[in-house]
Amino acid sequence: MKLSYIRLLTENFDESFEFFGDKLGFEVTWGKKGDDYASFKASDSTMISIYTKKLMFDYIGGMPKSDISCHQVVVCLEVDSVDETYKALQNKNIKFVNEPKDMPGWGSRCFHILSPDEHLIEINEILPKNAWTDDLKQRDPKK
């Protein structure tokens, strides 16, 4: 098995479409504003798609669990420069959760934003290994 794409269920399709396409700049590979489904090229091998919650739950016969909090997702997007990306997104009416910060225990520098449906999105870049914690270096399968 391999990850082909991440599907985010949305109650605000057009806002989500603009968020991933216009604000974050991902190439639209399927769909358009006003549709029920769209996909975006996140990398050469990964896609992000958005789909209306109502249609998804209609299709599967209702919400699988009564607690909506069970349907949470974090989408992690790797960039070349977290700081440049942070600056580029600041004037695009995006909800920021935090500012860029080195996370040596994660091996990355990152910040977090929210999509219009408040899906948590992490924007990260990999730190050089000499900036990782010793514990993380020991757990690295590629050492």
pLDDT, tens only, 65-89: 545 554 457 788 989 999 999 999 9
pLDDT digits (tens, 9 = 90+) for 32-76: 999 988 999 988 888 999 988 888 777 656 655 545 554 457 788
* Domain ranges for the chain: 1-68, 73-143
Instruction: Tell me which architecture the domain covering 1-68 has in CATH.
Output: Roll (3.10)
Could you read off the pLDDT of 102-135 as tens digits, one per residue? 999 889 999 988 888 878 788 999 999 999 999 8
Q: How far, rounded to the nearest angstrom, does the alpha carbon of residue 74 sit from its chain's CA centroid?
A: 6
Across the chain, what does the average pLDDT equal? Answer: 85
CA atoms of 76 and 70, how far apart (whole Å): 19
Dihedral, 103, 73, 75, 31 alpha carbons, nearest 10: -170
Q: Which fold has domain 73-143?
A: 2,3-Dihydroxybiphenyl 1,2-Dioxygenase; domain 1 (3.10.180)
pTM, two decimals, is: 0.73
